[in-house]
Chain A
Amino acid sequence: MRFFESEEELQEKLRDFITAHKSRLGLVSLEAPLISNLPVWSNIALIRQYHQNMSWHEAKITIDRLLHRMGMDSIAEKRNPSLTKEERFYAMLLRAAMVRDAVVVLDKPFSILTNLRDGHFLMHILHKVDDLIAEAHIFDYSWAKERYGVTADAED
């Protein structure tokens, strides 16, 4: 976890991080929304279809299985505007996890999940995709530390 005092600082550090991990980056951020004219499964499958040339049929099976694992079978055919905040977050996280050896970056996750009180839910779903990702990084403001249950300034 990385916490920053100001928006500018956060953005600068995030940019640097993205540049450093460009090839393996899986960003979960409002700055990287889902593609609105694709269903959720297609948004997630896109990464493997494009980078690994996985056939759409195979990709569909993989994504359906993952959504089932997350308990989100119902959102497979939904599109971005009709998703709830939680569903959208799941979809974005799964998409990020599709990158090979993914370095997942959660950019201010509470700005996506505005209804969350603390970070337990985040930890819970990150555990669910643990096998799919290599690293997970959270970028947020320092005043949100408490929501993650973090007391120290250092990264976790």
Chain B
Amino acid sequence: MIRVTHLMIIRTLSPPFPTVCESIMISAIEQIGRVTLRTSSSVGSTLSFAARVFLRMFERRSYNSASRMVLINQIYFTSVQILPLFLFVAVIFGAMVNGMVFQLIKKIGQTDYLGRLLMGFVVMEISPFVTVLLIALRSSSAINAEIAVMKVNRELSTLEIFNIDLIDYLFVPRVLNGILSMVFLSSLFSLVVLSIGLFVSSVIFGTSVDAYIDTLLRSASLLDMIIVWFKCAAFGFFITLIPIILGMNASQELTSIPVAVLNGMVKVFSAIIIIEVLSSIVRFI
């Protein structure tokens, strides 16, 4: 008799099965809502910060002597120091891509497509992509760690105490360096790959220099070149801005530095993919 009563109580206390399902569903939907709100708020704050930095790039006071020195140092570390490695990669890559392209063209007999392949694929897609990967791997991670360390060491607050604007002194030079380095290095990469193509075509496949240049010129369009520079600039802007934002998000603890770098690099990679897709859509339209 006692046992039966106990079971009845248990039955009364435990919620019916549909109620449990409902609560699981509601919490799942709440979770989706939370994630959506968090993501959109994060994207929104990133874009609003990006807009602030972008606008500040056009203000004269952002280019004082201190900021110019930072800019020069940044270009040196991002573009000049990496140059030997970068050119080596460009030569190796150029030889490889050109070999493949020429073999393919020869095999399918579509010589008219040579220019399109080299200009549309190598110059428009591959050069910016390889360049952005190299810069992101080397400089974005460095910027992320540098800003996070400055935050942990209270160096950012030092700058604020001395009335030094962080955007002017730290962010604008780095972002501008990202844009310039991307445009310059990507252009160099394209020029190196096309020069290797000239070599491959004339020495290995016996095409005349004029014919090769003519093929490229037929496929070259200034509009495409402008699009690819915009794309490079967008890459450069975001692969430096995102590490800055994530570096700023570090706390006062040393352990927050690797976390900031890790998150920053993941977001940098996402930004690269998003820009790549957007630029393809723009070109397609």
The A-contacting residues of B in range 147-163, CB under 8 angstroms, are: 149-150, 153-155, 157-159, 161-163
Known interface pairs A49-B66, A56-B65. Does A36 touch B162 (Cβ–Cβ under 8 Å)?
Answer: no
Chain B residues with Cβ below 8 Å from A31 are 154, 157-158, 161
Instruction: Give complex CA distance A49, B67 in Å.
Output: 8
Instruction: Give complex CA distance A45, B65 in Å.
Output: 10
| B110 close to chain A: CB less than 8 A | no
Contact bitstring B21-59, A, C-beta under 8 A = 1, else 0: 000000000000000000000000000000000000000
The B-contacting residues of A in range 73-110, CB under 8 angstroms, are: 95, 99
Flag if A33 contacts B155 (CB, 8 Å). Answer: yes
Q: Which of B69, B146, B149, B157 contacts A49 (CB 8 A)?
A: B69
Q: Which of A22, A33, A35, A49 contacts B64 (CB 8 A)?
A: A49
Chain B residues with Cβ below 8 Å from A99 are 162
Q: Which of A25, A36, A45, A59 contacts B161 (CB 8 A)?
A: A25
| A46 close to chain B: CB less than 8 A | yes
| A154 close to chain B: CB less than 8 A | no
| B85 close to chain A: CB less than 8 A | no
Q: Whose C-beta in chain B lies nearest to the C-beta of A56?
A: B69
Chain A residues with Cβ below 8 Å from B254 are none
Chain A residues with Cβ below 8 Å from B150 are 35-37
| Closest beta carbon of chain B to A30's beta carbon, Å | 9
Chain B residues with Cβ below 8 Å from A55 are 65
The B-contacting residues of A in range 12-32, CB under 8 angstroms, are: 18, 22-23, 25-27, 31-32
Flag if A33 contacts B69 (CB, 8 Å). Answer: no
Flag if A18 contacts B153 (CB, 8 Å). Answer: no
Flag if A18 contacts B69 (CB, 8 Å). Answer: no
Q: Whose C-beta in chain B lies nearest to the C-beta of A105?
A: B161
Known interface pairs A32-B158, A35-B158. Does A50 touch B149 (Cβ–Cβ under 8 Å)?
Answer: no
Q: Give the number of A-B contacts (CB < 8 Å).
A: 64
| B137 close to chain A: CB less than 8 A | no
| Closest beta carbon of chain B to A6's beta carbon, Å | 22
| Closest beta carbon of chain B to A98's beta carbon, Å | 9
Instruction: Give complex CA distance A11, B146 in Å.
Output: 28
| Closest beta carbon of chain B to A26's beta carbon, Å | 8
Known interface pairs A25-B161, A32-B161, A37-B146. Does A53 touch B154 (Cβ–Cβ under 8 Å)?
Answer: no
Flag if B161 contacts A50 (CB, 8 Å). Answer: no
Instruction: Give complex CA distance A110, B66 in Å.
Output: 31
| A54 close to chain B: CB less than 8 A | yes
Instruction: Give complex CA distance A118, B81 in Å.
Output: 48
Known interface pairs A37-B146, A49-B69. Does A27 touch B161 (Cβ–Cβ under 8 Å)?
Answer: yes
Flag if A50 contacts B64 (CB, 8 Å). Answer: yes
Q: Which of B65, B146, B153 contacts A33 (CB 8 A)?
A: B153
The B-contacting residues of A in range 34-64, CB under 8 angstroms, are: 34-37, 42, 45-47, 49-51, 53-56, 59
Chain B residues with Cβ below 8 Å from A46 are 66, 162, 164
Interchain residue pairs with CB less than 8 A apart (14): A32-B154, A32-B157, A33-B153, A33-B154, A33-B155, A36-B150, A42-B69, A47-B164, A51-B163, A53-B64, A54-B65, A55-B65, A56-B69, A59-B65
- Residues on B facing A (Cβ under 8 Å): 64-67, 69, 146, 149-150, 153-155, 157-159, 161-164, 168-169
Q: Which 10 A-B pairs have the closest CB atoms?
A: A49-B66, A49-B65, A50-B66, A32-B158, A53-B64, A32-B161, A53-B65, A35-B155, A56-B69, A27-B161
